[in-house]
Structure 1
Amino acid sequence: MQRRTLLALPLAAGPAWAQTAETYEAAEQSILAGRLASPSGITIEMPTLSENGNSVDISIRVESPNTRADHVTAIHILAEKNPIPRVASFTLGPRSGRAEVATRIRLATTQTILVLAETSRGQMHRAAREVIVILGACVDGG
């Protein structure tokens, strides 16, 4: 096998999570791992209406003391109607300063965006936001 072929194999295969047909509900349950999520402590800022689903701004802030003993360890973004519901996951630590992330996401159609946040104490927080998408993206599974 040539070096180029060997280096290209992992890229062609893509990430492991993208190759499974995980549903929105299964992704949520996998992250929660049997824990109950508190419906408070998360602020989601994103437009209610997006003209183009190819790039939708989203920022998330989780209330946390951000001490070594009590801090946010992960923030997960799920999109209910995307072909791959796990849109993004961020890992945080006590040195992150604030439990805040901002990014742009692709959305297939009008749907609910779910944010789950994990803390170092094993607590889960949850918030959801509906977004109306005029021109959808990722209709071919990507």
Structure 2
Amino acid sequence: MSPDRRHALKTTSLLAVLVAQGVIGWPEAQAAEARAGFGADTLDGALAALGSRPATSEQVQLTALDVVEDGSVAPVRVVSLLPGTTEIHLLVEKNPVPLSASFRFPAGSVPDIQVRVKMAESSRVVAVVRADGKLYMASKQTAVTVGSCGG
């Protein structure tokens, strides 16, 4: 048995056990495509799928480079200083699918993420945070010299 197949079987088995024992619920185990917003093809559509229009907040700290040489690996960090943060969503305005990532945080977690996203072209990167049932956001313009996303 190849190491890749063995790893896939172990991971799938572990996920099945965690769901069966109730450690994680079925919604948390589903693929990202099934979650709201990933089907939207515009920034406004993705924001509408997430809920209401977010208010700008300095308590949402978005760190991204001003210029990214390779759009396939654009580093982004989001930190929420808002109490009661339960979700962080990362959107790239001009991507074919703007919603790039979504994260859920259980109570007591530190809402701090660092990821690399694909950017099709120079665009505004938007972080949306859900805290105490309300949406807040921060955004930053990032220039891309070599795009990704099949463009």
TM over 0.5: yes
Residue 46 of structure 1 pairs with residue 59 of structure 2:
no
Residue 28 of structure 1 pairs with residue 47 of structure 2:
yes
Return closer, same or farther for 1:35/1:48 CA change in 2, 3 Å cut-off: closer
Please name the residue that 1:136 is paired with.
147
Give distance in 1, aligned partners of 2:89 and 2:148. 20
Gaps of 5+ in 2: 1-31
Letter in 2 for 1:129: K
Give distance in 2, aligned partners of 1:29 and 1:108. 22
Please name the residue that 2:103 is paired with.
90
Q: Offset at 1:36? A: 4.5
| Regions of 4+ moved over 6 Å | none
Please name the residue that 1:8 is paired with.
none
1:73-92 CA-to-partner distances (Å, cap 9, x unmatched) read 00001111001111000001
Aligned match for 1:74, one of 84, 87, 96: 87
Return closer, same or farther for 1:63/1:21 CA change in 2, 3 Å cut-off: closer
Number of corresponding residues: 119
Gaps of 5+ in 1: 1-13, 66-70
Give distance in 1, aligned partners of 2:78 and 2:38. 27
Give distance in 2, aligned partners of 1:48 and 1:38. 20
Identity of aligned residues (%): 24
- Residues 89 and 101 of structure 2 are in contact (CA less than 8 Å); yes or no, is this contact kept in structure 1? yes
TM-score (normalizing by structure 2): 0.71
Letter in 2 for 1:53: G
Q: Offset at 1:139? A: 2.6
Give distance in 1, aligned partners of 2:52 and 2:64. 28
TM-score (normalizing by structure 1): 0.75
Cα-Cα RMSD: 2.2
Return closer, same or farther for 1:20/1:34 CA change in 2, 3 Å cut-off: closer
Q: Which structure has more RCO (C-alpha within 8 Å, separation ≥ 6)?
A: 1
1:103-139 CA-to-partner distances (Å, cap 9, x unmatched) read 11000000001110001x2122110000000000003
Letter in 2 for 1:52: D
1:40-94 CA-to-partner distances (Å, cap 9, x unmatched) read 31111111100000101111111134xxxxx210000111100111100000122
Residue 15 of structure 1 pairs with residue 15 of structure 2:
no
